[in-house]
A and B are shown apart, each in its own frame.
Chain A
Amino acid sequence: MNHRQRVMQALNHRQPDRVPLDEAFRPEVWAKLEQQFRGDEELVRDKLGVDLRTVSIDPPERFTKKSWPSPSFSGFRTVRRLSPNLYEDEWGIRYALGATGRYWHFHTHPLEHRPLDDYDWPDVDAPGRFDNAAEGVDRWKEEYAVAAGGDIEETFFEQSWYLRGFARLLRDFYTNPDFVHDLLDRLQEYRVAQARKLLDLGVDIVRLGDDLGTQNTLILPPRLWREFIKPRLRALIQAIKARGHAKIFYHSDGNIRQLIPELLEIGVEILNPIQPECISPEEVKAAFGDRLTLHGTISIQRTLPFGTPSEVRQVVLARIRDCGSNGGLILAPTHAVQTDTPLENLLTMYRAATEHQQEGQQ
């Protein structure tokens, strides 16, 4: 069973030979792993047994030519440098780096004061946007399951508040709903166009998402999510399914337990990251495991930074036992692993998973 078959088996809710694995690391952690294995990122993925590869939608050639590659952005967005500590992405969203130079914060939201009609949307068809993604699909498709992400993973709510400002957008939901509908309509059109391009490349998984949860509860009241976000997410998923066979991955940090039945109803098939300190992976598996694949589940807030290697191993094996029957589980850290995580814990996580052959393989 190769990597691709293993992932597909799990996604189709059949028992793979072992649990499939994915990754997410801070650039500094990547550097440690590259040193450990004396090779590049691809060698690290191979050594760890990572079964998926992720390609990304890029800004177009004309933007990247002028951009300033910044590892501090952790692969989040390609930006160009405007001044020593001011960066801008192709949407016109500006960022500044924080005191440690490792994490950025928002500096300017382009729609905070500008009318929507005056805003120039990025051009989906601009040359160079899908070149890396196409190359990645060609390179990996035989051996690995290929997922596609990029800014499409901040699908509706997140991209909207990046453009408008967080508190401002939240207020708009109550005081200026027409604006929010208008913004989301335009974003939906853009997302559908992006997704169609990805499907034409032949990706296996489209990564959508919006951080909708805090640690304990939801950011938006469910009634607002249902009015503003859900119908557009449903339409986007329908457009994806009408074009090809890609599986629908959905990311949201935090506790979004309340929304899971409705995410399933509109076509979500893989849910990430299922932070165990926010939602019980075991409960999610028991309630929805026949239809939903759990992706993530290994805590970067508890297990990986603070556990002992032995505890990490126990958590991994317990998760496989409790959530891995009949496939439907892809193990990964619940977010980018931070610099304080002992390397031994990380290696133990992957070693424990790759060494554990699952019972009942079909």
Chain B
Amino acid sequence: MKLGARSGELEQELTSSLLNMDMEAVKRIVRENLEHGGDAQHLLSILMNGMRMVGSRFESQEFFLADLIMAGEIMKQATAIIKPHLSASRQTSAGTVVLGTIAGDLHDIGKDIVKSILFSEGFDVHDLGTDVVPARFVQKARESGSEVIGVSALLTTTIPRVKEVVDELEKVGIRHDVRVIIGGAAVREKDVALYGVDAAVNDAIEGVRIIKSWTRRASTK
């Protein structure tokens, strides 16, 4: 990218490099632009918008899990280059979410899809990994001030353990401050009532929509 290249050209080149999963091109464009006095916030906005396009192409099945993970990796590396150039006041977040796969369950593909999309939407995500004991979700939510806990469970035998997350939130007195969503292929609508969670979904994209609606509501309070 040449110095003084018009914003439209920068946006087009950066976005198409991201959509083509060309990590080296994205990093090069970002570096060169910053070296020539480019606006870090503008670069981040272009990439976030590109990640939304990745998310929507994943939703329409034009892109696949590997694309989503690769785009997430590109975004992560590009953000690491951009972040030092952002002023503290401009490092805004769409919200903070704790994610993890519940104790006894080691499946993480669904969780990772949610994480990638939340990241692309500007959320701060604390990923606790797999096989996470219920109290750990709550501990991390308290430490990070998260407004949402996302619990992933594929196995039908592990889904009921989400109730322990809800009970722990009650126990430490922050149930009203933190919403809990459970996601997984075998999760059912009636799990909301069964385990006292706020939402239960089979679909990662639907899960992100719900989380966004909650954090939008939270931010207008």
Q: How many residues of B are in contact with the other chain, CB < 8 A? A: 31
Given A219-B66, A339-B157, list of 17 further CB < 8 A pairs?
Answer: A98-B104, A98-B105, A99-B133, A103-B105, A103-B155, A170-B69, A170-B70, A173-B66, A174-B21, A174-B70, A175-B23, A214-B109, A216-B203, A217-B65, A302-B186, A305-B186, A340-B157
A217→B104 contact, CB < 8 A: no
Question: Which of B110, B131, B133, B203 has most chain A Cβ within 10 Å?
Answer: B131
**What CA separation (Å) do A221 and B69 show in the bound complex?**
12
Which residues of chain A are within 8 angstroms of B15 by Cβ–Cβ distance?
A: none
Q: What are the interface flags for B99-122 relative to A under an 8 Å C-beta threshold, 1 for contact and 0 otherwise?
A: 000011110011011000000000
B185→A277 contact, CB < 8 A: yes
Q: Residues on A close to B: CB < 8 A?
A: 98-100, 102-105, 167, 170-171, 173-175, 214-222, 224, 277, 300-302, 305-306, 338-340
A171→B69 contact, CB < 8 A: yes
Which residues of chain B are within 8 angstroms of A174 by Cβ–Cβ distance?
A: 21, 23, 66, 70
Question: Which of B65, B104, B131 has most chain A Cβ within 10 Å?
Answer: B65
A301→B185 contact, CB < 8 A: yes
B61→A217 contact, CB < 8 A: yes
Given contacts A219-B66, A221-B66, A338-B155, contact A104 B106 (CB under 8 A): yes
A220→B69 contact, CB < 8 A: no
For chain B, residues 35 to 68, give those with C-beta under 8 angstroms from any C-beta of chain A. 61, 63-67
Which residues of chain B are within 8 angstroms of A99 by Cβ–Cβ distance?
A: 103-104, 131, 133
**What CA separation (Å) do A214 and B184 show in the bound complex?**
11
| 3 cross-chain pairs, A with B, having the tightest CB-CB distances, nearest first | A100-B104, A105-B106, A98-B131
Which residues of chain B are within 8 angstroms of A222 by Cβ–Cβ distance?
A: 64
Count, A-B residue pairs, CB within 8 A:
82
A221→B104 contact, CB < 8 A: no
**What CA separation (Å) do A99 and B156 show in the bound complex?**
16
Cβ-based interface call for B73 (8 A): yes
Cβ-based interface call for B215 (8 A): no
CB distance from A30 to the nearest CB of B (A): 16
Which residues of chain A are within 8 angstroms of B113 by Cβ–Cβ distance?
A: 214
Which residues of chain A are within 8 angstroms of B17 by Cβ–Cβ distance?
A: none
**What CA separation (Å) do A218 and B65 show in the bound complex?**
7
Which residues of chain B are within 8 angstroms of A305 by Cβ–Cβ distance?
A: 156, 186
Which residues of chain B are within 8 angstroms of A339 by Cβ–Cβ distance?
A: 157
A217→B64 contact, CB < 8 A: yes
Cβ-based interface call for B79 (8 A): no
Give the residue name and chain of the A residue nearest to B155 (CB). Answer: A338
Cβ-based interface call for B130 (8 A): yes
Which residues of chain B are within 8 angstroms of A170 by Cβ–Cβ distance?
A: 65-66, 69-70
A105→B131 contact, CB < 8 A: yes
Q: Which of A167, A215, A301 contacts B73 (CB 8 A)?
A: A167
Q: Which of A98, A175, A218, A300 contacts B106 (CB 8 A)?
A: A98
**What CA separation (Å) do A99 and B69 show in the bound complex?**
27
CB distance from A119 to the nearest CB of B (A): 23
Which residues of chain A are within 8 angstroms of B104 by Cβ–Cβ distance?
A: 98-100, 102-103
CB distance from A335 to the nearest CB of B (A): 10
CB distance from B201 to the nearest CB of A (A): 11
**Sample (29) of A-B pairs whose CB atoms are under 8 Å apart:** A98-B103, A98-B105, A98-B106, A98-B130, A98-B131, A99-B131, A100-B103, A103-B105, A103-B106, A103-B155, A105-B130, A167-B69, A167-B73, A167-B112, A170-B70, A171-B70, A173-B66, A214-B110, A214-B113, A215-B110, A215-B185, A219-B64, A219-B109, A221-B64, A305-B156, A338-B157, A339-B157, A340-B156, A340-B157
CB distance from A302 to the nearest CB of B (A): 7
**What CA separation (Å) do A173 and B66 show in the bound complex?**
9
**What CA separation (Å) do A221 and B67 show in the bound complex?**
7
Question: Which of B63, B103, B109, B186 has most chain A Cβ within 10 Å?
Answer: B186
**What CA separation (Å) do A152 and B106 show in the bound complex?**
23
